Amino acid sequence: MDGIHDLGGDDSFGAIHIERDEPVFHEDWEPLAQALGFLGMGLNWWTADQIRHAIERMEPRHYMNASYYERFLTGVASLYVERGTVSQLQLEKLAGGRYPLSLHATRGAQAREADIHFAVGETVMATNTYYRGHCRMPKYVRGKKGVVVHIAPPFPFAGSAGHGLEAKLEPTYHVRFVAKDLWSDAEENSTVVVDLWESYLEKAP
Amino acid sequence: MDGIHDLGGDDSFGAIHIERDEPVFHEDWEPLAQALGFLGMGLNWWTADQIRHAIERMEPRHYMNASYYERFLTGVASLYVERGTVSQLQLEKLAGGRYPLSLHATRGAQAREADIHFAVGETVMATNTYYRGHCRMPKYVRGKKGVVVHIAPPFPFAGSAGHGLEAKLEPTYHVRFVAKDLWSDAEENSTVVVDLWESYLEKAP
Amino acid sequence: MADRQPTSSPASRANRTRALEIALSDENLIPENYVEKYTQIAEHEWDAKNGAMVVAEAWVDPDFHERLRTNATAACAELGFPGPQGEYIVALENTPTLHNVIVCTLCSCTAWPVLGLPPDWYKSFEYRARVVRESRTVLREMGLYLPDEIEIRVWDTTAETRYMVLPCRPKGTEGWAKEALAQLITQDVLIGVALPVI
Amino acid sequence: MADRQPTSSPASRANRTRALEIALSDENLIPENYVEKYTQIAEHEWDAKNGAMVVAEAWVDPDFHERLRTNATAACAELGFPGPQGEYIVALENTPTLHNVIVCTLCSCTAWPVLGLPPDWYKSFEYRARVVRESRTVLREMGLYLPDEIEIRVWDTTAETRYMVLPCRPKGTEGWAKEALAQLITQDVLIGVALPVI
């Protein structure tokens, strides 16, 4: 989805705030939220992709103003509610207040049926495809050309796995893009490597 | 700028909420905020483009969670502070609390020096240019081809006017794009017309 | 800003607005009745009723219709509706196979003198984000069902042109007076998310 | 959601988390000590000190260096650092003309077993949005000045590969013991926003 989470290259943002001697967790509920998410994953109720997509599906105003662990909590709670393990009403009663969840998922995507392999050193193009559902091709490479620098082993295609659908195993390619090809005002001598499932790539024209 | 405000085609968002028998203003401070913005415009302290850009420059979390008139207020208050009419500290004292303003502006853009005119019926391409500052070419048409359907009279180029710079007068073109050319999953038989300054367009390859 | 909650809420929006007003007042920058006048104009002079009269006039007077098509700014001024955000108005004429609808994806520009200040939904992120990519779905959600054969053309108000939709005159209104016709034209009709209903 | 403030704040994040815990507990879904174990692992087992030992080992042992370059997953496991978010690890080797830096623009993926859970700044919208487009500026803001001749290569963690940066061994560390070398490698160094300093 072309969502609020797809932040790469957005230039609304200011300085990066760095906390010195930062603890792993700042508050007790943070590891708890994360552990409860992995609990459902351990039960094979969902994949990591589904957690990611549940987070992306958050109401955009909520996403923008939530911390990382609040986003994680919201995604995971939404998955439990969507699965029917617990209801939003029950959660609100237990929490003693509003319990905002993620918006509903739309349809997932299938990987390309035909295998089209690419070689290291080959110039490829990120497809010009728009996905409504979970997508791990950041918008900033769509339709852009880059060069394969490495081929990673097959993993389940995220566009399906993010929706709990059976997912084709596909290699992912580390594709190097020249930053100036991605943004005309990008800095010199800088490149970006994006790790893309085969279905997100096509032969360069 | 590729900012949070450039929302066209984002698919994070849910249903549109419609209020029946909506008043023009919901609260008294709303027309007041708007009037105070036009006051500075009437004094030639800034252009409408500068108000728009001051709103775009809002801290993205603030932008996302503010109402239309709160965004207007924030942009306008930022312009008064940037001009030195009033300080943020003074505003915070008077308001009795925090008074968040917009982030600082970066550089504006100049229109293309050479005039390149286009004709009604001509296929044109939106440039593949990325602007750091104010920009009135929505990201969803960048690099896309469309057909000129109308030529509007010259107006000051927004990329400069949004930064208070002297702005070249340029015609704007109503360019019709097929929605499916903009988003592969867009609906059939739908088109989008975007009103683009000449500098945002080039001859179609 | 860190990935943490801010330590304090901002002052209320009303208080922030008043604070700016006081600061500018202290500098003697606000002419007498400036805000009252603005509010009066915004609430009463900029009104979709104006656009409705323009549409009704175009429906009954072919010459005006032609002037509206070729120079809507002048045609609107002729009826007494010039003004800010109306420096260059273009009327978008619907046909049996074309439906026009207006948005401003980057902010919320509208032709104030003839459409009035836009409603909240027009300014909502939802409408701004969605109507360009899924116009048919959005219109259906808003209660406007258009057959697939009708092209939906969305006009994004990205420069200085301000638009108004000129809908087809409904069948069954032959011989109606201008005033009666104007009653059919709401702000939603002028934006293009509704059709005149008799 | 309308363009208006919500009528009530949500329950606190802590309360919302506890509510989910109670609901799942009531269904007997949470094994004993499940959360405590997770917290223990996240706070203590996933640690940038692990990545530091990997780098130090690679600096002193050319054979391990080669294994790390060709199969970092196995090389890390060899030192005792397998685990979730480390199923396929790739070590990014800096050279005198190439500097690597890691981000995850779409969420905040990281190689937990060798880098530890990422810091807040890594998960911030600011870092995610900016480092791909203006890496040199962002690194400079973070205190890392790199000459223009050095290519900055940003690795966006968009699929299942998890990265760690293998920095150049600093001059003046000849003959140092592994443990002393490992002290030079912080989490920032492994992400690529800092260099080892002696």
Predicted local distance difference test score (pLDDT) of residue C87: 87
Q: With an 8 Å Cβ cutoff, is D33 touching chain A?
A: no
The residue among B51, B46, B36, B43 whose CA lies nearest residue B5 is: B51
C76 in Cβ contact with B141 (< 8 Å): no
pLDDT > 70: what percent of chain A? 100
Report whether pLDDT(D1) > 50: no
Structure tokens at D22: 């109670």
Structure tokens at A134: 């979970």
CA distance A193 to A141: 10
Partners of C104 on chain D (C-beta within 8 Å) are none
Query: Average pLDDT, stretch C109-118?
Result: 93
Predicted local distance difference test score (pLDDT) of residue C9: 87
**Structure confidence by residue, pLDDT tens digits, D150-169:** 999 999 999 999 999 999 99
Query: Average pLDDT, stretch C62-66?
Result: 97
Q: Which fold has domain B1-103?
A: Cyclin A; domain 1 (1.10.472)
In whole numbers, what is the pLDDT of chain A averaged over residues?
A: 97
- Suggest the residue from B67, B103, B131 to mutate for an interface test with chain D (most D CBs closer than 10 A): B67
Query: Average pLDDT, stretch B185-198?
Result: 96
**How far does Cα A196 stand from its chain's mean position?**
12
Q: Give strand pairing partners of B191.
A: B178, C153
Would you say the ipTM is above 0.85?
yes
Task: State the nearest Cα–Cα gap between A182 and chain B, in angstroms.
Answer: 9
Q: What are phi and psi for residue C10, nearest 5 degrees? A: -70, 165
Q: Which of B31-45, C57-71, C82-96, D43-57 has the lowest mean pLDDT?
A: C82-96
**Structure confidence by residue, pLDDT tens digits, D165-181:** 999 999 999 999 999 99
State the span(s) of chain B assigned CATH 1.10.472.20. 1-103
Please give the full DSSP string across chain A, using - where no structure is assigned. ---TT--TT-----PPP--TT--S-SSTHHHHHHHHHHHHHHTTS--HHHHHHHHHTB-HHHHHHS-HHHHHHHHHHHHHHHHTSS-HHHHHHHHTSB---BPPP----PPPSS-----TT-EEEE-----SS---S-GGGTT-EEEEEEEEEEEE-HHHHTTT----EEEEEEEEEEHHHH-TTPPTTEEEEEEEEGGGEEE--
**Structure confidence by residue, pLDDT tens digits, C3-57:** 455 568 899 999 999 999 999 999 999 999 999 999 999 999 999 999 999 999 9
Q: How far apart are the first and last CA of chain D?
A: 54
Instruction: Spell out a b/e string for D51-73, using b for 16 or more CB atoms within 10 Å of the CB, else e.
Output: bbbbbbbbbeeeebbebbeebbb
Active-site annotation of C, residues:
104, 107-109
Please give the full DSSP string across chain C, using - where no structure is assigned. --SS--SSPBPPHHHHHHHHHHHHHHTT-S-TTHHHHHHHIIIIIS-HHHHHHHHHHHHH-HHHHHHHHH-HHHHHHHTT---TT-SSEEEEE-BTTEEEEEE-SSS----HHHH-SPPHHHHSHHHHHHTTT-HHHHHHHTT----TTSEEEEEE--SS-EEEEEPPPPTT-TT--HHHHHTT--HHHHHTSS----
**Structure confidence by residue, pLDDT tens digits, D78-100:** 999 877 777 899 999 999 999 99
CA distance B117 to B140: 23
| CB proximity list for B54: less than 8 A, separation 6 or greater | B46, B74, B75, B76, B78, B79, B102, B105
User: How many cross-chain Cβ pairs, A to C, lie less than 8 Å apart?
Assistant: 11
Nearest 5°: CA angle at D63, between D60 and D66?
A: 105
Instruction: Spell out a b/e string for B54-75, using b for 16 or more CB atoms within 10 Å of the CB, else e.
Output: bbbbbbbbbbbbbbbbbbbbbb
Q: Pick the catalytic residue from D107, D124, D135, D168.
A: D107
Write down all domains in chain C, each with its CATH number in brackets.
13-23+30-43 (no CATH), 47-191 (3.90.330.10)
D184 in Cβ contact with D196 (< 8 Å): yes
CA distance B94 to A73: 39
Q: Identify which has the larger pLDDT, D6 or D58.
A: D58
Report whether pLDDT(D2) > 50: no
Q: Pick the catalytic residue from D12, D25, D76, D109.
A: D109
User: How crowded is the C-beta side of D184, counted as CA atoms within 13 Å?
Assistant: 22
Report whether pLDDT(C68) > 90: yes
**Structure confidence by residue, pLDDT tens digits, A151-162:** 999 999 999 999
- Provide the H-helix boundaries in B109-201: 158-161, 179-182
Q: What are phi and psi for residue A68, nearest 5 degrees? A: -55, -50
Query: Average pLDDT, stretch C100-115?
Result: 95
Task: State the nearest Cα–Cα gap between D169 and chain B, in angstroms.
Answer: 38
CA distance C86 to C162: 6
Task: State the nearest Cα–Cα gap between B66 and chain A, in angstroms.
Answer: 9
Q: Which fold has domain B123-203?
A: SH3 type barrels. (2.30.30)
Instruction: Name which of A11, A56, A132 is nearest B1 (Cβ-Cβ).
Output: A11
Report whether pLDDT(C59) > 80: yes
**Structure confidence by residue, pLDDT tens digits, A163-173:** 999 999 999 99
pLDDT > 90: what percent of chain D? 90
Judge whether D104 counts as a catalytic residue: yes
Q: What are phi and psi for residue A182, nearest 5 degrees? A: -90, -40
**Structure confidence by residue, pLDDT tens digits, B64-84:** 999 999 999 999 999 999 999
- The conformational region for residue D67 under phi > 0 = left, psi -120 to 50 = alpha, else beta, is alpha
Query: Average pLDDT, stretch A72-88?
Result: 98
A91 in Cβ contact with A171 (< 8 Å): no
- Model confidence band, residue C2 (pLDDT cutoffs 50, 70, 90): very low
Q: List the chains bordering chain B where 3 or more Cβ pairs fall under 8 Å.
A: A, C, D
The residue among A2, A49, A5 whose CA lies nearest residue A163 is: A49
**Structure confidence by residue, pLDDT tens digits, A16-64:** 999 999 999 999 999 999 999 999 999 999 999 999 999 999 999 999 9
Q: Identify which has the larger pLDDT, B154 or C87.
A: B154
Report whether pLDDT(D7) > 70: no
What SS3 class is residue B123? strand
State the span(s) of chain B assigned CATH 2.30.30.50. 123-203
CB contact under 8 A, C4 and D120: yes
CA distance B49 to B160: 9
Report whether pLDDT(D5) > 60: no
Instruction: Name which of B19, B26, B60 is nearest D125 (Cβ-Cβ).
Output: B60
Query: Average pLDDT, stretch D6-29?
Result: 93
Structure tokens at A39: 């609990």
- The conformational region for residue A96 under phi > 0 = left, psi -120 to 50 = alpha, else beta, is left
B134 in Cβ contact with B79 (< 8 Å): no
> What is the total residue count of chain B?
205
The residue among B186, B18, B24 whose CA lies nearest residue C142 is: B18
CA distance A70 to A26: 12
User: How crowded is the C-beta side of D122, counted as CA atoms within 13 Å?
Assistant: 25
> What is the total residue count of chain D?
198
**Structure confidence by residue, pLDDT tens digits, A128-137:** 999 999 999 9
- Model confidence band, residue D4 (pLDDT cutoffs 50, 70, 90): low
The residue in chain A having the minimum alpha-carbon distance to the alpha carbon of residue D8 is A98
Query: Average pLDDT, stretch D183-187?
Result: 97
